[in-house]
């Protein structure tokens, strides 16, 4: 009995000791926590800040994109990095959700009942209230010290011009789990814009004091800024007028390109429908991201007749007054080719062939050149190959039928059928006719400004003579006559000599052979003033519902933009 009692007392003593030992351990831990949180809080806070500062240095800032503004001589941002905030709630910590919802609703521009519902769910440990909150609003909310409400910053890509530069600039999206530029300059020059990530191989070096000079730490290199050749005002005017034209004609899409014919610098490049790159996720039809000015290869139709005529002029096989007699059709083997609407023009000069857009006249000029020479010259003009413009998604077009060197394929190509080209290829060829005969490379890049302060200005040295200066002068005068006397009257600008050519192209059926009778593409390509061209422009309207011919769709659009250009570029009138 005594032995049992003694054993029980010893067991009780051990429990008492363990109890006090546990209390002592808890007290030591509590004291340590108090010491860390109160006494050493500033030191640990500083260390955390240092670690955060070093962590930020591992990730480069993406380069910005700017547009020209010739009127002011300044540049305007079209893609920048914007620090925004996420506002979130921890419902379990919130005691008065009704009052809190009433306070937050006007600041977040949200419905009060929606916020109240989110704050009242005590089963939820975290609830995101709103993303993309501006710094000013975030600061206002944080100054209120609302219990259970927090925020965190996030760097977002912001496009201040929204839809106007959507196809030229593209957007910053994702490739897999990595953020990367998509489409436009963002896509093509992603590596230049993205910069180079830093390097850290030692987590314990994560403080500005220990990381500095540490061989396991290398600071990130920020991306380069890019200054475009595109002029903000010309872009805005061109894209706005394009949108209005597409909508007014009930058309499917359209494109406008404005280029300096002397050096290939793109002053405007627009495609419609467009999109807001700030909200690219909302676009359901991914084809809208494609810039039709470089992506869409189409049969150019009668705008190609000017190129055919320039080739024949350059070979010395025709001149402006060379004549032929049009009977309304040309038979080649089993094929018969007719003029538009079956018209018969009789005796025509080469100038009148362009004025009246005579299919048989274009065939006459091409036959003078010959199939082999015609194919070679068309390839020298860059057709069938990408131009190399710094925009993603460029198509090559297709002139493979010319390689067969059969009379029928040369004949149809002479007036822009049976081959395809992109708008950027077409405007490049017209620039060669305008600038004295040189093929230039289209470019959208004016400067690349490195994070180290170095500025690189790519010199566009890609000038290849393809036409003689005489050919340039002759074809320019003939195209001027098209605007004065032919189908291009509505492309003219009072007080200026403008040259150009209309084209109403058929559209191949999506299934089967032949052309869709209900579809057409109207385009006008021209330049001005023809005695000293300052701009070359392409305007294109796809499948208008109200009118059939380009002289009623693309030509007026060209004329409106050209009238703006001569004023904006301060071009002196050359005629009364």
**Which CATH architecture fits 230-568?**
3-Layer(aba) Sandwich (3.40)
Whether 29 shows a pLDDT value over 90: the answer reads no
What is d(CA 262, CA 512) in angstroms, rounded to the nearest whole number? 42
Q: How far is CA 241 from CA 205, 554, 565, in A?
A: 57, 11, 13
Of 123 and 118, the structure prediction assigns the larger pLDDT to 118
Task: Return phi, psi of residue 382, to 5°.
Answer: 95, 5
Q: What would the mean pLDDT of 337-350 be, rounded to a whole number?
A: 94
Whether 198 shows a pLDDT value over 80: the answer reads no
What is the helix (H) or strand (E) element at residue 82, kind and residue range? Answer: strand 74-89
Confidence of residue 41 (pLDDT cuts 50, 70, 90): very low
Residue 15 is predicted with a pLDDT of 62
Cβ atoms 414, 361 nearer than 8 A: no
Residue 513 is predicted with a pLDDT of 81
Going by C-alpha positions, the residue among 381, 350, 352 that lies closest to residue 366 is: 350
Q: What would the mean pLDDT of 198-222 be, rounded to a whole number?
A: 60
Pull the structure tokens for residue 461. Answer: 């040295």
Residue 460 is predicted with a pLDDT of 63
In our burial notation (b when 16+ CB lie closer than 10 A, e otherwise), range 364-400 reads bbbbbbebebbbebbeebbbbeebebbbbbbbbbebe
Going by C-alpha positions, the residue among 251, 270, 232 that lies closest to residue 423 is: 270
Strands, DSSP E only, in 198-328? 199-200, 217-218, 225-231, 253-259, 266-272, 323-326
| pLDDT tens track for 305-339 | 999 999 999 999 999 999 999 999 999 999 999 99
Q: Are strands 74-89 and 149-158 parallel, antiparallel or unpaired?
A: antiparallel
Confidence of residue 49 (pLDDT cuts 50, 70, 90): very low
What is the helix (H) or strand (E) element at residue 480, kind and residue range? Answer: helix 469-485
- 3-state DSSP assignment of residue 461: coil
Going by C-alpha positions, the residue among 266, 268, 274, 267 that lies closest to residue 292 is: 274
Pull the structure tokens for residue 12. Answer: 């009780």
Computed over every residue of the chain, the mean pLDDT equals 88
Whether 52 shows a pLDDT value over 60: the answer reads no
Residue 48 is predicted with a pLDDT of 43
Confidence of residue 131 (pLDDT cuts 50, 70, 90): confident
Going by C-alpha positions, the residue among 275, 339, 253 that lies closest to residue 523 is: 253
Confidence of residue 46 (pLDDT cuts 50, 70, 90): very low
- CATH code linked to domain 81-159: 3.90.1310.10
Q: Where are the domains of the chain?
A: 2-39, 81-159, 230-568
Q: What would the mean pLDDT of 375-395 be, rounded to a whole number?
A: 96
Confidence of residue 13 (pLDDT cuts 50, 70, 90): low
Whether 38 shows a pLDDT value over 70: the answer reads no
Of 95 and 231, the structure prediction assigns the larger pLDDT to 231
DSSP secondary structure code for residue 241 in this structure = H
User: pLDDT exceeding 70 applies to what percent of the chain?
Assistant: 86
């Amino acid at each position: 009995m005594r032995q049992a009692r003694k054993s029980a007392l010893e067991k009780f003593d051990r429990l008492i000791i363990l109890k006090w030992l546990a209390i002592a351990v808890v007290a030591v831990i509590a004291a340590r926590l108090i010491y860390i949180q109160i006494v050493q809080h500033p030191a640990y806070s500083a260390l955390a800040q240092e670690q955060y500062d070093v962590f930020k240095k591992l990730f480069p800032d993406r380069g910005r994109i700017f547009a020209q503004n010739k009127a002011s001589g300044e540049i305007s941002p079209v893609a920048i990095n914007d620090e925004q905030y996420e506002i979130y709630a921890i419902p379990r910590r919130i005691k008065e959700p009704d009052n809190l919802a009433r306070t937050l609703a006007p600041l977040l521009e949200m419905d009060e009942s929606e916020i109240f519902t989110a704050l009242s769910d005590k089963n939820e440990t975290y609830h995101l209230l709103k993303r993309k909150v501006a710094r000013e609003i975030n600061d206002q909310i944080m100054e209120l010290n609302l219990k259970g409400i927090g925020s965190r910053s996030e760097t977002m890509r912001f496009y201040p011009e929204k839809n106007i530069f959507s196809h030229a600039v593209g957007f910053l999206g994702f490739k897999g789990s990595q953020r990367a530029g998509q489409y436009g300059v963002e896509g093509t020059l992603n590596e230049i814009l993205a910069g180079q990530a830093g390097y850290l191989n030692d987590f314990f070096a994560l403080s500005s004091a220990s990381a500095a000079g540490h061989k396991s730490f290398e600071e990130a290199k920020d991306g380069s800024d890019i200054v475009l050749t595109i002029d903000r005002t010309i872009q805005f005017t061109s894209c706005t007028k394009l949108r209005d034209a597409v909508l007014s004609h009930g058309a499917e899409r359209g494109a406008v390109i404005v280029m300096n014919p002397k050096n290939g610098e793109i002053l405007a490049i627009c495609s419609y429908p467009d999109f807001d790159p700030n909200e690219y996720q909302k676009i359901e039809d991914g084809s809208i991201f494609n810039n039709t000015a470089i992506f869409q290869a189409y049969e150019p139709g009668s705008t190609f007749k000017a190129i055919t005529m320039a080739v024949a002029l350059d070979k010395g096989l025709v001149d402006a007054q060379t004549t032929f007699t049009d009977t309304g059709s040309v038979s080649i083997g089993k094929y018969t080719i007719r003029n538009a609407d079956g018209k018969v023009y009789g005796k025509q000069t080469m100038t009148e062939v362009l004025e009246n857009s005579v299919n048989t006249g274009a065939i006459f000029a091409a036959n003078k050149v010959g199939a082999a020479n015609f194919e070679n010259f068309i390839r020298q003009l860059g057709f069938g190959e990408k131009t190399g413009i710094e925009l993603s998604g460029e198509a090559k077009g297709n002139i493979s039928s010319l390689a067969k060197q059969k009379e029928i394929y040369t004949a149809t190509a002479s007036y822009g059928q049976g081959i395809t080209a992109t708008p950027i290829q077409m405007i490049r060829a017209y620039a060669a006719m305008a600038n004295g005969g040189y093929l230039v490379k289209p470019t959208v890049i004016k400067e690349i400004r490195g994070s180290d302060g170095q500025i690189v200005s790519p010199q566009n040295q890609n000038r290849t003579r393809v036409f003689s200066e005489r050919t340039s002068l002759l074809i320019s005068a003939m195209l001027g006559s098209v605007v004065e006397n032919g189908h291009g009257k509505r492309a003219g600008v009072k007080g200026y000599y403008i040259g150009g050519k209309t084209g109403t192209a058929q559209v191949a059926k999506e299934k089967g052979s032949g052309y869709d009778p209900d579809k057409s593409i109207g385009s006008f390509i021209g330049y001005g003033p023809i005695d000293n061209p300052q701009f070359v422009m392409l305007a294109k309207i796809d499948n208008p519902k109200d009118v059939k011919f380009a002289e009623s769709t693309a030509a007026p659009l060209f004329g409106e933009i050209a009238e703006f250009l001569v004023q904006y570029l301060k071009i002196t009138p050359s005629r009364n």
